Amino acid sequence: MHRLRTTVARLRPLTAAQTAQSPSRPRLLAIEGGLRTFEPARRLNTSSVVAEPFLNGTSSNYVEEMYYAWLENPRNVHKSWDIFFRNANAGAPPGAAYQSPSPLIGSSQGQASLRGLMGAQPNVEKLVEDHLAVQSLIRAYQLDPMNISCVDFDDAPCTIGFQNVGFYGLVEADLDKVFRLPTTTFIGGSEGSLPLREIIRRLEFMFINDMEQCQWIRQKFETPGVMQFSPEEKKTLLGRMIRSTRFEEFLQRKWSSEKRFGLEGCESLVPALKAIIDRSSQRGVESVIMGMPHRGRLNVLANVIRKELDQIFCQFDSKLEAADEGSGDVKYHLGMYHKRMNRVSDREITMSLMANPSHLEAVDPVVQGKTKAEQFYCGDTEGKRAMSVLIHGDAAFAGQGIIGFTTDPRMARSSAYPTDVARVVNAPIFHVNADDPEAVVYVCEVAAEWRNTFHKDVVVDLVCYRRNGHNEMDEPMFTQPLMYKQIKKQKGVLQQFAGKLIAEGVVTTQAYEEEVARYDKICEDAYARSKDEKILHIKHWLDSPWPDFFTKEGQPKSMNCPSTGISEEELTHIGHIAASGRANMVNQRLCDWALGEYMAFGSLLKEGIHVRLSGQDVERGTFSHRHHVLHDQNVDKRICIPMNYVSPDQAPYTVCNSSLSEYGVLGFELGFAMASPNALVLWEAQFGDFHNTAQCIIDQFISSGQAKWVRQNGIVLLLPHGMEGMGPEHSSARPERFLQMCNDDPDVYPKLSEDFAVRQLYDCNWIVVNCSTPANYFHVLRRQILQPFRKPLIVFTPKSLLRHPEAKSSFDHMLPGTHFLRLIPEDGPAAASPEEVKRIVFCTGKIYYELTRERKKRSMDAAVAVVRVEQLSPFPFDLVKAETERYPNADLVWCQEEHKNQGYYDYVKPRIRTIINRTRPVCFESCSGSVNFDKPRPLCWRPHPVFLHVARRLLPVQPPHWDTPGGAV
């Protein structure tokens, strides 16, 4: 027998007003976490039964008080109340529940009707107790159906069944007695009473806190005969089971020593997914985005997404070289995008299986974000046209991506089932035996209908096993010997199901064997074609294509990036919309950091580019500088987003505060950015170091996603960074980590060309910048959209510069013809007499303002040139080289406020060495350290012609350290 179960939150007890409702309506009571029905189960077919006069509004408080007292202890109330509540819970109709004193019954006819309900039983209390016991039995099946049939090989003995009715105070003789059914179940169909034996046979499931949804689920699972399949449907299901099973067996025969993470033991997953897709397509779904771990991925690619088998088999040939750029990935991580006609619905449907790293659950928020984006772009507010399907393993679902491997479930989680974590979203959870394909398909069809009906999440727990170890090379008998002894004795699901259909006469043995042979031939033919392949095409596995954005060969249409400036009229218009408090600044043709961001967003929106900003406190801004959402000071929840009123025909602007779950939120935004290249999607951390809990998304998707899966992405990370005494956790955005993962070669001076700056961007894995002016921040945001390809952008944003009086930009730096400046050269007195300059100080970010202040204080404006490297990666070799040649008599210094083993030093050092090696000899000086910020020392001029020196506010740098600076300023 297959088993089903859903989760449910507790229902609240009746209120006084609800107690006085019409007696014909069910009334739910929460009793120790379960659902108990306090209602008239069936009305007596007589007009002489007198309804209880105390069930009215004036006495409802008293009735409720008596009820709660009875719940604590039946002896707390009068015997008549005890009998009344017992009878009511047993399903007695109004007028029959109350039995004493006898005058309230009214007539002998009423007494006869009550005796009719009792039947021949003289003992009324025994009747009531037996009905209560049957109702408890029904609820036990509804609330914990996993105990109906033990599927897991390590399950405890079953506690519900014909043999265990004594647990509820019933005896074997009661199995053939007829009991009235409560209205909380549909197992009777049109019948109001059934023998206990038939009740147990029909029961399956239940648990959720919405009455309409509860009734919907009960009808789907408790109505007799609902799970009926026609012979043709059974043949289709058998064909799908053959493909799922024989595919794994074919791989095992051909590549027995290869890891493939097969689906053996859960072959019914393929017909399960097919059933969900078919039923969803019938209900109007046009796009299905799927995320899953490595187990069974090749089978799903072959038999659900319908990837060509020969292309899958090519992945097993280690001698084939990739024809495309990138490193590629192992075959069981690859994704796929496919559009085809669905045979069941006769409608076109798009399916996308997202590529996934070895972190099993990491792809889930990415899938959700991409699904949300597709719904957004097609105006699908209810999720009727685009949906996601997430597949989890037992341990990974409850453990946020941690695999079970050799860990038993009892050690991996504290809950009874891995799906218990899904209760927080109040989704129904259907448990089904994977060895019963018909039950699996029916449950999955119901799950698809649930989502279409209620537009809510639904979980299917496919209770299965793993016939092999963690992979095909792993021996599971080492750690789980008893379980795997039973698994080895277990017949395969295809063998069981085929035998069942043959016994039923649905198919013959000959027809079954012919279908198996036909699919085996398909696999053999594909294997032969795979031998003819000479190269691997990584881009054939692209899971998120962007039609018309690239050429047919997948290349950018040009290597030119137009000017990112906009007209002064547009700057002024957007500036006045931003905030009246900045009107004076706009009139002076100046913008600060927040206004520069506002102008970048507003101008892109006006050009039809959707802008989406999410993160912690982004609506106001962590440092109260942004204020993109204005709140009515007198009316709660009344807000205005001025950015959505820049232009009548603009694109929509989305800004939303997120939770502190950076892992999930950043993954979601990454998925959203994946859906379309024509959107600027930004995620901002509250403080820069908050990205560390999203490190998996950064490492596995953002940094290396294009190399592994030929998938570009233009997501922007805004990471506040700066040593301003906020403590170890709120200071550094860890730029050294991002720079360490950059792929530009520090030891090779690149070949220069006319499109060098753009080609550098195209060849890098991501762009890392630390802007020092609002204008440059404005340009780099607009460049994300105007460049002919997409790359992730990491921006180390300032904190102290948000209101710094010198950190303002003129409109002249943002007009048409202006661009993002990869490097900002010295423009003061030192630039006028370069031969007299004694030192060039290269830096990045806010330290520039501290350097120039100290330089002015020491009257060294003509002796020291300060150069800002705005784009750190890809490194501006050409511009840095030009600056070193501009000052022939100057020593070279790199200045940063971070510790020597942090920040940018280790990244820029070898690159500047490469530049210098092309001009003159070099000597690199090691650095001493000091943690005192407030005792300035004079600059020490070294006799060496060129050296790199790391300074902290024109002082020797702090020594290497394991943490960022402490809280002291």
712, two tokens:
């570009």
Residue 558 belongs to some domain of the structure: no
Measured CA distances, 852 to 265, 529, 764, 950 (Å): 69, 68, 32, 16
Query: What is the pTM for the complete model shown?
Result: 0.76
DSSP 8-state assignment for residue 611 = E
Strands 630-631 and 639-640: antiparallel
DSSP 8-state assignment for residue 509 = H
Least confident of 532-541, 656-665, 829-838, 856-865: 532-541
Flag whether pLDDT at 30 surpasses 50.
no
- Residue partners of 706: CB distance under 8 A and separation at least 6: 326, 712, 713, 765
Q: Is 388 strand, coil or helix?
A: strand
Q: Are residues 246 and 193 in the same domain?
A: no
Least confident of 416-425, 665-674, 842-851: 416-425
Q: Are residues 608 and 642 in the same domain?
A: yes
Instruction: Compute the distance between CA of residue 677 and CA of residue 546 in angstroms, rounded to an integer.
Output: 7
pLDDT tens for 278-326 read: 999 999 999 999 999 888 899 999 999 998 998 888 888 877 776 666 6
Please say whether the beta carbons of 820 and 779 come within 8 A. yes
Flag whether pLDDT at 743 surpasses 80.
yes
Q: Are residues 741 and 848 in the same domain?
A: no
Using pLDDT thresholds of 50, 70 and 90, give the confidence band for residue 884: very high
131, two tokens:
């009905």
Instruction: Compute the distance between CA of residue 381 and CA of residue 924 in angstroms, rounded to an integer.
Output: 60
Q: For residue 662, give the amino acid letter.
A: E
Task: State the pLDDT at residue 141.
Answer: 66
- Residue partners of 243: CB distance under 8 A and separation at least 6: 270, 302, 303, 519
Q: For residue 775, give the amino acid letter.
A: A
481, two tokens:
């010997």
Using pLDDT thresholds of 50, 70 and 90, give the confidence band for residue 771: very high
Residue 801 belongs to some domain of the structure: yes
365, 369, 338: which is closest to 352 by C-alpha? 338
Please say whether the beta carbons of 554 and 539 come within 8 A. yes
Q: Are residues 573 and 675 in the same domain?
A: yes
Q: Are residues 178 and 313 in the same domain?
A: no
State the CB neighbour count (10 A cutoff) for residue 661.
14
Segments forming the whole domain that contains residue 877: 823-956
Q: What is the 3-state secondary structure (H, E, C) of 843-860?
A: ECCCHHHHHHHHHHHCCC
Residue 715 belongs to domain with CATH number? 3.40.50.12470
Q: What is the dihedral of CA 245, 250, 253, 259, to 10 degrees?
A: -80
pLDDT tens for 265-277 read: 899 999 999 999 9
| Positive or negative torsion for Cα 98, 100, 102, 104 | negative
Task: State the pLDDT at residue 35.
Answer: 30
Q: Are residues 669 and 719 in the same domain?
A: yes
Q: Are residues 333 and 433 in the same domain?
A: yes
Q: Are residues 790 and 859 in the same domain?
A: no
Instruction: Compute the distance between CA of residue 582 and CA of residue 242 in angstroms, rounded to an integer.
Output: 69
Please say whether the beta carbons of 117 and 96 come within 8 A. yes
Using pLDDT thresholds of 50, 70 and 90, give the confidence band for residue 625: confident
Residue 963 belongs to some domain of the structure: no
Please say whether the beta carbons of 628 and 595 come within 8 A. no
The number of distinct structural domains making up the chain is: 4
Q: Strand 955-956's sheet: what is its strand order?
A: 823-824, 864-869, 839-843, 891-895, 950-952, 955-956
Task: State the pLDDT at residue 431.
Answer: 86
Please say whether the beta carbons of 160 and 141 come within 8 A. yes
| Positive or negative torsion for Cα 332, 333, 336, 342 | positive
Please say whether the beta carbons of 690 and 730 come within 8 A. no
Max Cα separation, the chain?
121
pLDDT tens for 935-958 read: 333 333 332 323 344 443 333 345
pLDDT tens for 512-563 read: 999 999 999 999 999 999 888 877 777 778 888 888 888 877 788 888 899 9
Task: State the pLDDT at residue 779.
Answer: 97
Q: Of 759, 784, 814, at which residue does a domain stop?
A: 814
Give the residue-averaged pLDDT of 645-674. 92
Q: Is 88 strand, coil or helix?
A: helix
Q: Of 479, 506, 541, at which residue does a domain stop?
A: 541
Q: Are residues 484 and 335 in the same domain?
A: yes
Q: Of 217, 248, 282, at which residue does a domain stop?
A: 217
Flag whether pLDDT at 811 surpasses 80.
yes
* Residue bearing the bigger pLDDT, 73 or 939: 73
Instruction: Compute the distance between CA of residue 794 and CA of residue 619 in angstroms, rounded to an integer.
Output: 20
Least confident of 372-381, 473-482, 595-604, 851-860: 473-482
- Residue partners of 361: CB distance under 8 A and separation at least 6: 293, 392, 396, 397, 400, 401
Q: What is the 3-state secondary structure (H, E, C) of 745-758?
A: CCCCCCCCCCCHHH
pLDDT tens for 386-402 read: 999 999 888 777 666 55
DSSP 8-state assignment for residue 153 = T
Residue 729 belongs to some domain of the structure: yes
| DSSP line for 429-498 | EEEEETT-HHHHHHHHHHHHHHHHHH----EEEEE---SS-SSTT--GGGT-HHHHHHHHHSPPHHHHHH
Residue 3 belongs to some domain of the structure: no
Tally DSSP H helices, then E strands, for the chain: 31, 29
pLDDT tens for 474-505 read: 777 787 888 888 888 888 999 999 999 999 99
Residue 950 belongs to domain with CATH number? 3.40.50.11610
Instruction: Compute the distance between CA of residue 249 and CA of residue 311 in angstroms, rounded to an integer.
Output: 18
Q: Are residues 277 and 329 in the same domain?
A: yes
Residue 793 belongs to some domain of the structure: yes
For the chain, give the mean pLDDT.
79
DSSP helix, strand, coil percent of the chain (3-state; round to 5): 40, 10, 45
- Residue partners of 474: CB distance under 8 A and separation at least 6: 468
Flag whether pLDDT at 767 surpasses 60.
yes
Task: State the pLDDT at residue 406.
Answer: 66
Strands 535-536 and 610-615: unpaired
874, two tokens:
């890809």
Chain centroid, CA 735 distance in Å: 26
Instruction: Compute the distance between CA of residue 281 and CA of residue 225 in angstroms, rounded to an integer.
Output: 25
Q: Which residues pair with 37 in a beta bridge?
A: 28
Task: State the pLDDT at residue 425.
Answer: 83
Residue 233 belongs to some domain of the structure: no
Task: State the pLDDT at residue 301.
Answer: 93
Q: Are residues 289 and 198 in the same domain?
A: no
Flag whether pLDDT at 808 surpasses 70.
yes
Region of residue 770 (phi > 0: left; psi between -120 and 50: alpha; otherwise: beta): beta
Residue 310 belongs to some domain of the structure: yes
Q: Strand 716-720's sheet: what is its strand order?
A: 653-657, 610-615, 679-684, 716-720, 793-797, 767-769, 871-873
Please say whether the beta carbons of 915 and 842 come within 8 A. no
Task: State the pLDDT at residue 775.
Answer: 96
Residue 440 belongs to domain with CATH number? 3.40.50.970
Q: Are residues 653 and 756 in the same domain?
A: yes
Give the residue-averaged pLDDT of 906-910. 94
Give the residue-averaged pLDDT of 679-695. 89
Q: What is the share, in percent, of the chain residues with pLDDT greater than 70?
A: 76
919, two tokens:
């001009």
Using pLDDT thresholds of 50, 70 and 90, give the confidence band for residue 690: confident
pLDDT tens for 110-142 read: 444 444 444 444 466 677 777 777 777 777 766
Give the residue-averaged pLDDT of 883-893. 92
Instruction: Compute the distance between CA of residue 131 and CA of residue 136 in angstroms, rounded to an integer.
Output: 9
- Residue partners of 503: CB distance under 8 A and separation at least 6: none
